[in-house]
Amino acid sequence: MECSFPLTVADVLRRKYFERAVVAAGKGGLSRIVKWVHVVEVTKISNLLRGKELILSTGVGWREDASLFLSLLRQLIECDASGLCIELGTYASSIPDEALKLADQHDFPIVFFLEEVPFVEITHDIHTHLINQQYQMISQLESYSQELNKKLLTVHDHREILTCLHDCLGHHVAFKMQGGDVEYIPCRPRQKREASICSGNSGWPVDAVVKPISLFGAEYAELALLPDGRDVNEFDLLILDRTATALAQHLLRNLYAEEKRRTEENEWLKGWLEGEYSDQEISSFLLDHHPSFDSRRGVVWVCKVERLIKKEILI
C-alpha cells in the first residue's frame, strides 16, 4: 500500500479547465501543496490567508496597476500561498516582467488562463477532490492501523513493523534503541549510512523526521523517516505516529515477557538451591530452557559469600 498525498500545483494543472493554461513563472514551485482554492479580487489579502491556498483571479482588483499587483504578489509569497492563476483578457492583459522575475526567484507559480474559465466549476472540482482525498486518507490510515494490530498478534521481530512502514510510504525507515545501533529498512550502503548519521546535532540527517518512542515516561527508542524521492507530508506523519505506537506496544510486550521469564527463572533457581526439585525435574527444566546444555556433564558449585562492609573514616 503506497500512498500518494497530498494535492500539488502540478496535479491541479492536469485537471479539467487547465488544459490550455500556461505556467508563466515559478515553474520550480509546481510541487507546492494545495490545501484549498480561493478566489481573490482585492489587493490586501494577507489577513485572509492561512497558507497553501491556490488563488484564482481575473485581475479586476489591480487591472493594469503594476505596483498594486506587485504588492499582492509579495503578500501571497509571504503567506505561503500555493500559486496564482490569472484569467487574462477581461481586466488584465499582461503581467509586469518584474513580477514574473519575483515569482521565479521564490519558485511561486503564476498560471495564465488565456480564455475565460468558470471559476465556480474549478473551485467545485478541486474542493471535491480534496474532500475525497481526505476521506481516502482516513480510510487508508484506518486500514494501516488494522494491519498493524493484526501484525502485533504474531510479530516476533520489530523489523517486521519497520518493513510495514516502508512498504506503505516508500521512504527509508531508520530505528534506534537507546544505546544501540541504527537499523535501516531497507539496508542502505555503508557510505550512505555514515553520511546520514553525521548530519545534525541529533545524529540524524537534516531532512529526517524523527518520532521518539517512550516507555514508562522515558525515551526508549527513536523511529525516523528518511525522505526518498519526495517530501514527508501530513499523511506520512499520521502513519509514522501509528507505527511508533505499535512499536511501543511491541517493545513493552517484549519487556514484560523478558521480565516474567527472568522472575520465573529466579524462582526456579531459588527452589533448586533449597532442594525442592528432583534430579529428573532439574534435567527436564534445563533441557526445556537450554536445549544445547548437556546436564550429564556439569558441576554446580554453590557457595555463600559474606560481604564485608568496611567503614572508612576520612580525616
User: Under a CB-based contact definition with an 8 Å cutoff, are residues 244 and 213 in contact?
Assistant: yes
- Amino acid 294: pLDDT: 66
pTM for this structure?
0.66
The whole-angstrom separation of Cα 227 and Cα 196 is 12
- Amino acid 36: pLDDT: 93
| Domains in the chain: boundaries | 9-126, 155-257
In the chain, alpha helices (H): 9-13, 66-78, 97-105, 119-154, 158-169, 190-197, 234-273, 279-289
Taking alpha carbons only, the member of 219, 195, 218 closest to residue 208 is 195
Superfamily classification of domain 9-126: HprK N-terminal domain-like (3.40.1390.20)
- Amino acid 264: pLDDT: 83
Superfamily classification of domain 155-257: GAF domain (3.30.450.40)
Q: How many CB atoms lie within 10 A of CB 293?
A: 12
Farthest-apart Cα atoms in the chain, separation = 101
C-alpha cell at 148: 498493524
3-class SS at 19?
coil
**pLDDT under 50 in the chain at which residues?**
1-3, 189, 191, 193, 196-198, 200-201, 310-311, 313-315
**Tens digit of each residue's pLDDT (9 = 90 or more) over 82-123:** 999 999 988 888 889 999 999 999 999 999 999 999 999 999
- Amino acid 94: pLDDT: 87
- Amino acid 216: pLDDT: 86
